[in-house]
Structure 1
Amino acid sequence: MSIFNVFTLMGGIAMFLYGMDLMGKALEQTAGNKLQGILSKMTASPIRGLLLGMAVTAVIQSSGATTVMAVGFVNSGLMELHQAIGVIMGANIGTTVTSWLMSLSGLEGDSFLVRMLNPNAWAPILGFIGIFLYMMGKDKDRKRGVGKILIGFSLLMSGMNIMSNAMSPLADEPWFMELFLSFSNPLLGVLVGALLTAVLQSSSASVGILQALTSTGAVTYSAAVPIIMGQNIGTTITALISSAGANKNARRTAFVHLYFNVIGTVVFLCLFYGLNAVFQFSFFNETATTFGIAIVHTIFNVVTTAILLPFNRVLEKLAIMTVPDDAADESEEISLLDNRLLSTPSVAVGRAMLTGGDMAEICRTALLQAMSTTRKWDDAIADEVNRKEDAVDHYEDVLGTYLVKLSAKNLSREDNRTVNTLLHTINDFERISDHAVNLLKTGQEIHEKNIAFSREALDDLSVLEAALQDIVNRTVDAFQKGDCYAAGKIEPLEQVVDGLVREVKTRHIARLQAGACTIEYGFVLDDLLTNYERIADHCSNIAVAMIEVADDRFDTHEYLNHIKNGESPSFEKRYERYRGRYTFAPESYGGSAGAAQADQPAPKEEEQP
């Protein structure tokens, strides 16, 4: 073996690791919302969690990444510790998919079918197709993502072939054969496997390198088995590192991963060597193959999972004993958005969207509570509104920082749209919560000055407030569901609110001239109307941002001019329908027809194209 073989080996390892990384990230990016949907269905059932961990790891080709996600979810409060245990166990099984893909390179035969099953035959073709799709596709296009997956797989297989060819001369080196004979010592083999995986931060990569080493003929099953066991222990280092600085349950999650693999290794080695002592396995000293490595890797993970899954609560208690509760933990806060999830951008985007939805819900609740204080003052509700406004400010700061970090990641087109939508809307939600506090101050002024509203004024405000609650509810619901069609119904309703504000002012002046209202009431009325109108404006901003970002543009003025200048028939129909729904009582100062109409449930809206 010459120095040039070493150079070739280094290049092969580099190509192999880069191909695996490229394929995994491209698979995750292309999966996008599907992966996010899988992860959103967390369950307390260990079996469901096991299947979830398998599915996610099979997609992103990394058990370490799945475990880090589990740590991040526990740290964010999205998942309980006992739920994470099933996911971690499933991740260990899901990671065997990579070894099976690479084992296909060991297929040998002269028939066309067998040769075509060997990835070495069709991986170059996939690489050619992949680079074609990549060059033809637009930036962040799905076609380009599929191209990167194919390129990554082609590089992975090419790298494995280069490694195998570079290491094949080692078969004639006596020292190399003696080295692998020493790995037959279980403790030494476990240690080597753990160290290799800890350095590479990927059990799939280290198993792939072991499979490439089978070309030398020096790797026997007696040496491979303990190395594979050690590789599963080494992969826990990723989760342990990621848990640094996390809350106690997140740290416990990382320790569950460690204990699962350590206990599983001890149990499996005891069973394997115990049975070998009794039955004398014929394959024990045989040369391992790529298929054999994949089989051992799979059997180990399946068997240890089957043995330890019923004892998942024991693993949980062991982790709790390792990271016990103390006085400092009582003050721990759950992180709204965990930076660990940034390593899996599509999941981080999904979490950011959920957090944005929570922020929107807090705004809605705070606003409705604040509106109630203009009719009947309540100190407890006032304190709650102020707390919610502080919470919304915190959400905006955390989300804004997180979204900037996400923007620097390689996102799919759909995830990029989600990030842009959040960036364009969180400030409007924060401003709505500010207006809720303004309404609170107006309500306090009405209470302290004992300002009395006339029946007619209350009726008029009831109509306007019903329309305002409608637009806020529609906006929050559309935002949380990402429903651009529903967002298209916001602007005509905003125009109705603007018209109602002007009409309330006109009717107040008429009552003032007739002596039915007071000037003092006019001051607080002006404050109310100003805040109501601006709240509707912010709802319009949110809806327009959703629609424009979905169309890969952002020109608010052009969009509004288009729909308001008679170029959108649906806008006109919706406006007329909303305008008919929210009308005032006739100009008689004793009636209450307007209030009665506003209090009635809104009729079901007909779907419009």
Structure 2
Amino acid sequence: AMMMGANPGATELLLNLAAGIALLLWGVRMVRTGMTRAFGAQLRRYMSGALRNRFSAFLAGIGVTALLQSSTATAMIVSSFAGRGLIVGGAAIAVLLGAGIGTSITAQYLSLDLHWLGPLALILGVIGFFASESGMPRHVGRLLIGLGLMLLSLEMIIAASTPMRDAPGLAVVLQPLEREPLLGVLIFALLTWLSHASLATVLLAASLAKAGTVDATLAVALVVGANLGTAISPLVASAGQPPAARRAQLANLIARVIATLAVLPFLAQLPQWLGYASSDATRLAVNAHTAFNLALALIFLPLVAPLEKLARRLLPDPPAAENAAKPRYLDKSALDTPSVALAAAARETLRLSDAVSRMLDDTMTVFSRDDAKLAKAVEQADDTVDGLHEAIKLYLTEISKHGLDEAESRRYVDVLTFTTNLEHIGDIIDKNLMELAQKKIKNKLAFSKEGLGELTGFHHRVAANLQMACNLFMSGDVKLARQLLQEKADLRAAEQLAAESHYQRIRDGRTESIETSSIHLDIIRDLKRINSHLTAVAYPILEQAGELTATRLRADERPDTTSQQLLGGNSKTGRAGVA
């Protein structure tokens, strides 16, 4: 109150109140971010293991939300699990019923008189944050700073709200709300939806009640509105996801709408009923939040099966086949935990590699059978590759916004580089190889038996290297990286031998070889380009292991004598790392 001067005006009061609310929202976000980065992977494992039945799922919802301090974050994790079929029946709804109680637990201890805890949390948090460049101390420090900011913001809100009782301008705004508490319900439902933080809006309502800015009935109405709005946020955030991922959110919203409608006629009596537990204004608001969620759980936990059935009827599974270009593993709820999100991106990248692998396999079939229909299908498959690449790239961009440690940054670059190279391979197949195939089909050209055998063998080696590159991408094995670079050198030698053999057939006057000469050589050139994109995954692994100098393998890792002989004994050309 001292910061605002002796007679603050309505504008200054509202500005200070808004600043307190903004700090509260930022504190909640910092606590959630610190918790997810420090323990996010463990919390997700715990939740996935607790989804066996509705009761263990309910308890998981309470525990995870009490730690994350965000029922919306819990709801998004549930959405991702449900979308991948990892939650059976009404367990997802039970988690969300528990999440409401989880926020109640947090609201209860934050509403206590903890003047000493805020400064202590800030001091310890800053020490922990600056004590480490990355890792657990920094994440826990962020969490403690967020907790300290939340407690500080509550004091700011109370200090800004207390003079509002006597501000005539603001009385004009507040009096209609006290006469029409339903309007307060709707305003706080909207505020909670926009802020994605029911805990913050409940604590705001408690602070306004403690300052005497709102009466007891309106404080309870604001809390009811916050509990309604908290079900809207995750449902809107999951828009565009499959129906299975959204059903629990819809069921939670239906349950909270029913509970809100049931409570509205008794808003005037609720302060009196809740007053038996505590007459303190702050505790009244927080107890209203706790009572609402306990009642919600008691009524609807036994009814999760019919709720799930109703949600399934309202959001049925689509009859159409799955869109292959639509990402399957990019879990938005994991973005606050970069290690988990990067694993999801890597898994989606393997799906992208499968699509590229199918394109590569079909390519040789097109050339050997002159299959124009399959050529068109390969060209269309590149749209799937482009779609998945774009989705992974955007997801990685979101991950990068959450702050990565050194290991996470390396993995981020690895995933981004490999997906980009896979997309380039898809383009080479679509825009180069399929164009050559169409030319061969249109002109009714045929390869010689020997020429087709050479192309098929060359293709098989590149296809095998694609699988090796995928294994290397996931394992990071140094030995496998050496082998992949060795394959690059061997393939270059095989290209030279294939070209010499082809030119010999031309000198012998083989008609097929003369007619298909440019196509034959261009196919080998494009397959070699594809292989170069694949072997790019090996360089950072060998560089980190200290086995690269510039772009060459160290002297003690040169190819064996068999490779030297294959390349005509040219040791300079034979080094596996030469580009």
TM-score by length of 2: 0.71
Instruction: Tell whether the 8 Å contact from 1:62 to 1:204 is kept in structure 2 after alignment.
Output: yes
Question: 2:489 matched to which residue of 1?
Answer: 495
2:422 to 425, 429, 446: 429
Q: 2:108 is matched with which residue?
A: 103
Verify the 8 A CA contact 1:27 1:149 in the aligned structure 2.
yes
Aligned: 1:61 with 2:69: yes
1:72-124 alpha-carbon deviations (Å, 9 max, x no partner): x69xx94579979754652452354344234335668xxxxxxxxxx544443
Instruction: State the alpha-carbon separation in 2 of the partners of residues 304 and 94 from structure 1.
Output: 15
SS at match of 1:235: helix
Q: In 2, distance between residues paired with 1:228 and 1:130?
A: 30
Q: Supply the distance in 1 between the matched residues of 2:212 and 2:493 (Cα, whole angstroms).
A: 84
Inter-partner Cα distance in structure 2 for 1:220 and 1:287: 12
Query: 1: distance between equivalents of 2:325 and 2:60?
Result: 23
2:145 corresponding residue in structure 1: 151
Q: 1:415, 1:476 → 2: CA distance? A: 19
1:478, 1:487 within 8 Å by CA — same for their partners in 2? Answer: yes
Moved more, 26-35 or 216-225: 216-225
Show the 5 A alignment for 1:284-295: 286-287=279-280, 290=283, 292=287, 295=290
**Cα distance, 1:306 vs structure 2:** 0.7
Residue equivalent to 1:18: 26
The CA RMSD measured in Å over matched residues stands at: 5.5
Q: Which amino acid aligns with 2:127?
A: F
- Preserved CA contact (<8 Å) 1:53 1:88: no
Q: 2:404 aligns with which of 380, 396, 412?
A: 412
Identify the residue that residue 445 of structure 2 maps to in structure 1: 449
Aligned counterpart, 1:542 = 537
Which of the numbers 281, 296, 311 marks the counterpart of 1:316? Answer: 311
In 1: Cα distance, 2:105 partner to 2:366 partner = 65
Contact in 2 for aligned 1:123/1:154 (Cα 8 Å): yes
Match of 2:360 among 359, 363, 367: 367
* Correspondence for 2:375: 382
Shift in Å, 1:368: 1.4
Counterpart CA distance in 1 for 2:342 and 2:522 is: 38
- State the 1:418 CA deviation: 4.6
Counterparts of 2:371 and 2:64, CA distance in 1? 49
Cα 1:577/1:461, change in 2 over 3 Å:
farther
> Cα offset for 1:433?
1.9
What is the number of equivalent residue pairs in this alignment? 544
Letter in 1 for 2:27: G
1:392 alignment partner, one of 385, 392, 410: 385
Which residue does 2:255 correspond to in 1? Answer: 260
C-alpha contact 1:68 1:238 (8 A) present in aligned 2: no
- In the TM superposition, what whole-angstrom CA distance separates every residue of 1:470-503 from its partner, at most 9, and x where no partner exists? 2110112333x36465556422322222232223
Note closer, same or farther for the CA distance 1:57–1:520 as it changes in structure 2 (3 Å cut). farther
Identity of aligned pairs, percent?
21
Deviation readout 1:14-45 (Å, 9 max, x if unpaired): 43222112222333344566678789999898
TM-aligned CA deviation for residue 373 of structure 1: 3.4
Q: 2:276 aligns with which of 280, 283, 289?
A: 283
Q: Cα deviations across residues 485-538 of structure 1 (Å, max 9, x unaligned)?
A: 555642232222223222333455567678899545654442332122211101
Larger mean Cα displacement after TM superposition, 284-293 or 426-435: 284-293
Shift of residue 168 of structure 1? Answer: 7.1
Q: What's the offset of the Cα at 1:233?
A: 0.7
Which residue is equivalent to 2:125? 130
Q: Is the 8 A contact 1:371 1:436 kept in 2?
A: no
- Give distance in 1, aligned partners of 2:150 and 2:99: 18
Task: Give yes or no for contact 1:369–1:381 (8 Å, CA) kept in 2.
Answer: yes
Write the distance in 1 (CA, Å) between the matches of 2:83 and 2:250.
Answer: 18
CA contact (8 A) 1:493 1:578 kept: no
Amino acid at match of 1:410: H
**Which ranges in structure 1 are unaligned for 5 or more consecutive residues?**
109-118, 552-557, 585-609
* Cα distance between partner residues in 1 of 2:229 and 2:241: 21
**Counterpart AA for 1:432:** I
How far off is 1:151 after superposition?
0.7
Counting only pairs closer than 5 Å after superposition, residues 458-607 of structure 1 correspond to structure 2 as 463-479=457-473, 481=474, 483=476, 485=478, 486-487=480-481, 489-508=483-502, 518-520=513-515, 523-544=518-539, 560-561=548-549, 564-567=552-555, 569=556, 571-572=557-558, 575-576=559-560
